[in-house]
Amino acid sequence: MNYKVKKLQNDEKGTHYGIFIKELLIHYVFSRGRALKIVEELQQGTLLSDTIAVDIVREEQSKFEKLLDEERTKTSELARKLAEVSKNASKLKPPASMKIKSVVSVSAKPVPSIVPEVIKSKESLFMLTHNMNKKEESELLALISEVKSKGFKYSKELSSYILKNQLKRKYPNISGVVKMEKSGEQWNFSGGFPKKIYGIVCSELGLSDQGTTAKAVGFKSFKDMGEQS
């Protein structure tokens, strides 16, 4: 497939570099070198979700280390304050009839166990990367699993498969009717997907659009149309 890397924008996190299939953004990172490496792996047949798994785990580990450092700082500060209180208490001379507990006996608060959230499935990868809700994620992964062995080459074959097998009932949130446009003419295409879903499906299944110049300008899911039952 034809992948491209483009510079998107700059913000407080750095420069964004987007990975595109033609004009469709499927992922972005903060390093041009990493973006080019991802494209290289995609062109070798690696799935997008497998390619970016390392990046997501690395980000979670970074968050974990930052939280752990913060807890260590808090614990050190607490220990220092306890030592000051203990020192001041030792200077006091309580009446002989009174018994007091040594402040030293107060143990420092242990560092809490902070375990980063482990990425356990492709579903969580998609949710983190593409900002989808759980229903969309569940349907998308089920669809990819179902048709992966079909050997489809073109996206229109997948759309035909969905309509022929009444899969709009099974995948009502991610499939529906796409409004297409070419040379000022518009028409409805049933069995299609919204842009973000279409990009993932094509990447995961290795589908192409046969080079059409028509563009998707609208989408309505089968659920919203009341056609899933």
For 118-138, the pLDDT digits (tens) are: 444 555 666 666 677 888 888
Is residue 36 a part of any domain in this protein? no
If asked whether residues 170 and 225 sit together in one domain, one would say yes
Determine the Cα angle at 198 with ends 221 and 196, to 5°.
Answer: 80
Q: What is the pLDDT of residues 143-179, one digit of tens each?
A: 989 998 989 998 889 989 989 998 888 989 989 999 9
154 and 200 part of one domain = yes
43 lies in some domain? no
- Judge if 153 and 101 occupy the same domain: no
Supply angle C-alpha 39, 63, 129, rounded to 5: 35
160 and 202 together in one domain: yes
Specify if 112 maps to a domain. Answer: no
Question: Is 93 a domain residue?
Answer: yes
Q: Would you say residue 187 lies in a domain?
A: yes
Domain that holds residue 185: 132-229
Q: What pLDDT, in 10s, does the model give residues 4-55?
A: 888 887 777 778 888 898 788 878 888 888 889 888 888 888 888 787 877 7
**CA gap 103, 20 in Å, rounded:** 63
Assess whether 150 and 73 both reside in one domain. no
Give a yes or no: residue 16 inside a domain.
no
61 with 154, same domain: the answer is: no
Q: Count H helices, E strands: the chain?
A: 6, 6
Are residues 86 and 138 both part of a single domain?
no
Q: What is the number of structural domains in the chain?
A: 2
Residue 115 belongs to a domain? no
In this prediction, residue 119 carries a pLDDT of 40
Query: Where does the chain show beta strands of DSSP type E?
Result: 3-11, 14-21, 24-29, 176-182, 185-192, 215-221
Identify which has the larger pLDDT, 131 or 204: 204
A 10 A CB-CB count for 94 gives 9
Q: Same domain, yes or no, for 101 and 137?
A: no
DSSP class of residue 171 equals S
**Per-residue confidence (pLDDT) for residue 98, from 0 to 100:** 53
Q: Are residues 160 and 224 in the same domain?
A: yes
181 & 218 share domain: yes
Same domain, 192 and 227: yes
| Choice among 5-9, 40-44, 99-103, 225-229 with the minimum mean pLDDT | 99-103
Q: Which amino acid is at 31?
A: S
Q: How many residues does the chain have?
A: 229
